[in-house]
C-alpha cells in the first residue's frame, strides 16, 4: 500500500469517506494562489480535528485551515498544501446564555447564521461584529484574521469581545482557554494570541463571546462635501463630541460612485455616520448632527430610509464583492495610521494615486485610523506592473510615516510573488517567529503565508 493510500485510509477512518475530497479535478476549485491541496477533509467534531492534526504532525503533512474561504486570498503564496481542513461541519451553538450576555459556538458556523438565531432569542440579541463577507464568513475565519467592520468604533473587535477559545494545537492537543468564567493563569493568553494569527498556531474550533441586546433604533446619516478638510473636520468633531456613533466613514468620490448601494450625493467626499441605541437618543443625535453639519460647509445632509440602513453598511463592508460583480480588476489594501492623521492620509493617498495614473477608491474608518484602498484596473484590463508597485510602495511609506502599516489584502498571484503583501519588516516579527517555533516546531500550519513567511 502506497503512502497516499495509507493517508486516505487513515483520514477515512477519522471522518468517513463522504467527508474527504480527493478528486484532482474538483480540488482545482480550492487552489490557494495556484497551490492545489492534495485532500480536503471536513471533520464533524473537535475530537476529529484533533485526530487529523495529530496524524498530520506525525506524518509531517501541512494543514491549511479554512471555513467558507472568504478570506483565503489574504497572505503569501503557501509554501506547501497537503491537507485543507474545512471547518464548516463544526457549526453548532453550544451555549447561548442571553441572561449573562455570552455565547459559545463552534467556529465553522457563519456569523450570519449566529445573528439570525440570536435575533429570535427573547427581545433579540446580536454578536457585535460586522466584518466583510458577513453572509459567508465563519466565526473561526473572522477571529483568525481579526476581521472587523465600520461598527468597531462603538463595539470594538474580536480582541475586545472574545473571552474564551477551544483550539487544537499542532500536536493534536485540545486546549481550552478562558470561557464564561475566566481565572488568571500564568503563561500565554491563548485567547488573545490566536486572534489574528491567521491559522499559523492552531485551529480554532470553538469560541465564547460577549453578546448585546439588539438596539431599539438604527439610523444612517449621509453628508456630502466638496472639501476634504471640511469632511474630515466634521468627522473629528463628532468623534470628539458627546455623541456615540457606531461608525464614521469617509469615502472619496471614486469610492461612493462605485458603491453597490445607490448613493448619489453631490461633491467629492461622502461622510456616513451610523447610529444605534435607544430611540430618543438616536433621533436627538441625528437632528443635532445635521444642524452642526449645516454650519460647516455641508452640501447635502440626509438620513437613509430605515429599510436602506442595513443594505448600505453591508455593501460598504463588502465593497470588493460589488467590484467583482461589475467585472472590475482591482488590488485591495488595508492601511492603519494614527487617528489624528485621517485627513493627511486620505489627501496623500489621493495625490499618490493621481500622480501614478491609477484610479483609487478610498474608504476611511475615520474613528479607527483605517483606510481600505482599492486600486482599480477597469473592466478586462490588467495593471501595468511598475506604476502599481510604485503606488503600493508609496502608500506603505505614507502609512509608516503616519504611525501605521499597510497590507495587500487581495491581488493577482503574479503580484504576490514579487512583493511582500504584509508590508515589510515589523517590530514584532521576531516575537512572532519565536512563538511559531515553540508552538508549531514542524511548521505544519499554514506554512509561509503569514508575516515574514512564518
- Same domain? For 323 and 404 the reply is yes
- Same domain? For 178 and 223 the reply is no
CA pair distance 347, 419, nearest whole angstrom: 25
Sign of CA dihedral 285, 290, 294, 298: positive
- DSSP letter at 100 equals G
CA pair distance 131, 440, nearest whole angstrom: 28
Q: In what order do the strands lie in the sheet with 93-97?
A: 93-97, 102-106, 203-210, 162-168, 174-178
Give how far the C-alpha of residue 80 lies from the chain's centroid of Cα atoms, to the nearest Å: 24
* Dihedral angle, C-alpha 328, 329, 334, 337, nearest 10 °: -80
pLDDT of residue 381: 67
Residue 172 parent element (H or E):
none
pLDDT of residue 112: 96
pLDDT of residue 185: 45
| Residue-number span of the structural domain to which 403 is assigned | 319-416
Domain for residue 440, yes or no? Answer: no
Instruction: Return the half-sphere exposure (C-beta side, CA atoms, 13 A cut-off) of residue 163.
Output: 17
Cell of residue 336, nine digits: 492603519
Query: Which of residues 57, 86, 115 is at a domain's end?
Result: 86
Residue corresponding to grid cell 485567547: 191
Cell of residue 356, nine digits: 501614478
- Same domain? For 58 and 103 the reply is no
CA pair distance 130, 424, nearest whole angstrom: 28
State whether residue 86 is helix, strand or coil: strand
Query: Which of residues 46, 67, 86 is at a domain's end?
Result: 86
pLDDT of residue 181: 58
Cell of residue 4, nine digits: 497516499
Domain for residue 433, yes or no? Answer: no
Domain for residue 437, yes or no? Answer: no
Number of domains in the chain: 4
- DSSP letter at 341 equals G
Kindly report the CATH number assigned to the domain that includes residue 351: 3.30.70.2740
Q: What is the pLDDT of residues 58-84, one digit of tens each?
A: 999 999 999 999 999 999 999 999 999
**What is the DSSP secondary-structure string of 246-274?**
SEEEEEEHHHHHT-SS----SSSEEEEEE
Q: What's the chain's length in residues?
A: 454
- Same domain? For 310 and 340 the reply is no
pLDDT of residue 234: 97
Cell of residue 57, nine digits: 504532525
Residue 13 burial by Cβ neighbours in a 10 Å radius (0-12, 13-18, 19+): exposed
Domain for residue 37, yes or no? Answer: yes
- Same domain? For 146 and 196 the reply is yes
Cell of residue 402, nine digits: 503616519
State whether residue 343 is helix, strand or coil: helix
pLDDT of residue 5: 82
Kindly report the CATH number assigned to the domain that includes residue 148: 3.30.465.10
- Same domain? For 311 and 323 the reply is no
Domain for residue 450, yes or no? Answer: no
On whether the CB atoms of residues 146 and 451 are closer than 8 A, the answer is no
Long-range CB contact pairs, 343-349, < 8 A, 24+: 343/228, 343/229, 343/232, 343/233, 344/402, 345/371, 345/398, 345/399, 345/402, 346/228, 346/232, 346/250, 346/252, 346/371, 347/228, 348/398, 349/373, 349/395, 349/398
State whether residue 83 is helix, strand or coil: strand
- Same domain? For 190 and 121 the reply is yes
Query: Which of residues 23, 56, 86 is at a domain's end?
Result: 86
Residue 254 burial by Cβ neighbours in a 10 Å radius (0-12, 13-18, 19+): middle
Cell of residue 35, nine digits: 497551490
Give how far the C-alpha of residue 335 lies from the chain's centroid of Cα atoms, to the nearest Å: 13
Per-residue confidence in pLDDT tens, the chain, 454 aa: 677 888 889 999 999 999 999 999 999 999 999 899 999 999 999 999 999 999 999 999 999 999 999 999 999 999 999 999 999 999 999 999 999 999 999 999 999 999 999 999 999 999 999 999 988 999 999 999 999 999 999 999 999 999 999 999 999 999 998 876 544 444 456 778 899 999 999 999 999 999 999 999 999 999 999 999 999 999 999 999 999 999 999 999 999 999 877 666 788 999 999 999 999 999 999 999 999 999 988 999 999 999 899 999 999 999 999 999 988 889 999 999 999 999 999 999 999 999 999 999 999 999 999 999 999 986 666 777 889 999 999 999 999 999 999 999 999 888 888 888 998 777 778 888 899 999 999 999 999 999 888 8
- Same domain? For 171 and 246 the reply is no
Domain for residue 427, yes or no? Answer: no
Residue corresponding to grid cell 473571552: 163
State whether residue 205 is helix, strand or coil: strand
- Same domain? For 302 and 324 the reply is no
Domain for residue 266, yes or no? Answer: yes
* CB within 8 Å of 284: residues ≥ 6 apart: none
- Same domain? For 232 and 288 the reply is yes
- Same domain? For 106 and 205 the reply is yes
- DSSP letter at 291 equals H
- Same domain? For 116 and 207 the reply is yes
Domain for residue 294, yes or no? Answer: yes
Residue 116 parent element (H or E):
helix 111-119
Amino acid at each position: 500500500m502506497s503512502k497516499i493510500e495509507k493517508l486516505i485510509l487513515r483520514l477515512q477512518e477519522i471522518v468517513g469517506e463522504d467527508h474527504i475530497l480527493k478528486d484532482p479535478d474538483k480540488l482545482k476549485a480550492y487552489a490557494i494562489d495556484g497551490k492545489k491541496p492534495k485532500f480536503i477533509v471536513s471533520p464533524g467534531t473537535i475530537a476529529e480535528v484533533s485526530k487529523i492534526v495529530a496524524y498530520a504532525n506525525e506524518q509531517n503533512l501541512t494543514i491549511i485551515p479554512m471555513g467558507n474561504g472568504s478570506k483565503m486570498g489574504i497572505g503569501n503564496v503557501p509554501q506547501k498544501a497537503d491537507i485543507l481542513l474545512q471547518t464548516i461541519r463544526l457549526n453548532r451553538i453550544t451555549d447561548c446564555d442571553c441572561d449573562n450576555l455570552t455565547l459559545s459556538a463552534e467556529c465553522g458556523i457563519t456569523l450570519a447564521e449566529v445573528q439570525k438565531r440570536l435575533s429570535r432569542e427573547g427581545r433579540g440579541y446580536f454578536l457585535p461584529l460586522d466584518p466583510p463577507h458577513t453572509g459567508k464568513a465563519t466565526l473561526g475565519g473572522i477571529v483568525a484574521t481579526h476581521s472587523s467592520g465600520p461598527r468597531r468604533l462603538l463595539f470594538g473587535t474580536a480582541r475586545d469581545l472574545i473571552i474564551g477559545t477551544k483550539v487544537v494545537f499542532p500536536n493534536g492537543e485540545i486546549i481550552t482557554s478562558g470561557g464564561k468564567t475566566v481565572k488568571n493563569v500564568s503563561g500565554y493568553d491563548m485567547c488573545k494570541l490566536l486572534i489574528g494569527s491567521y491559522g499559523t498556531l492552531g485551529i480554532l474550533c470553538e469560541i465564547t463571546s460577549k453578546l448585546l441586546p439588539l438596539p431599539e433604533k438604527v439610523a444612517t446619516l449621509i453628508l456630502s462635501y466638496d472639501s476634504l478638510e471640511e469632511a474630515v473636520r466634521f468627522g473629528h468633531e463628532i468623534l470628539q463630541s458627546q455623541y456615540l456613533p457606531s461608525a464614521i466613514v469617509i469615502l472619496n468620490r471614486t469610492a461612493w460612485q462605485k458603491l453597490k448601494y445607490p448613493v448619489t450625493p453631490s461633491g467629492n467626499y461622502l461622510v456616513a455616520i451610523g447610529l444605534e441605541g435607544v430611540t430618543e437618543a438616536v433621533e436627538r443625535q441625528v437632528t443635532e448632527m445635521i444642524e452642526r453639519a449645516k454650519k460647516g460647509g455641508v452640501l447635502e445632509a440626509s438620513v437613509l430610509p430605515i429599510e436602506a440602513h442595513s443594505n448600505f453598511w453591508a455593501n460598504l463592508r463588502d465593497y470588493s464583492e460589488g467590484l467583482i460583480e461589475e467585472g472590475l480588476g482591482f488590488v485591495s489594501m488595508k492601511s492603519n495610521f494614527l487617528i489624528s492623521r485621517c485627513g493627511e492620509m486620505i489627501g496623500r493617498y489621493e495625490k499618490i494615486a493621481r500622480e501614478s495614473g491609477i484610479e483609487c477608491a478610498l474608504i476611511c474608518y475615520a474613528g479607527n485610523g483605517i483606510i481600505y484602498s482599492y486600486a482599480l484596473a477597469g473592466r478586462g484590463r490588467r495593471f501595468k506592473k511598475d506604476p502599481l508597485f510604485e503606488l503600493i510602495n508609496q502608500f506603505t511609506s505614507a502609512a509608516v510615516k503616519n504611525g501605521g502599516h499597510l497590507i495587500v489584502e487581495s491581488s493577482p498571484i503574479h503580484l504576490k510573488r514579487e512583493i511582500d503583501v504584509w508590508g515589510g519588516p515589523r517590530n514584532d516579527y521576531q516575537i512572532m517567529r519565536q512563538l511559531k517555533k515553540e508552538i508549531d516546531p514542524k511548521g505544519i500550519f499554514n506554512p509561509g503565508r503569514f508575516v515574514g513567511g512564518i
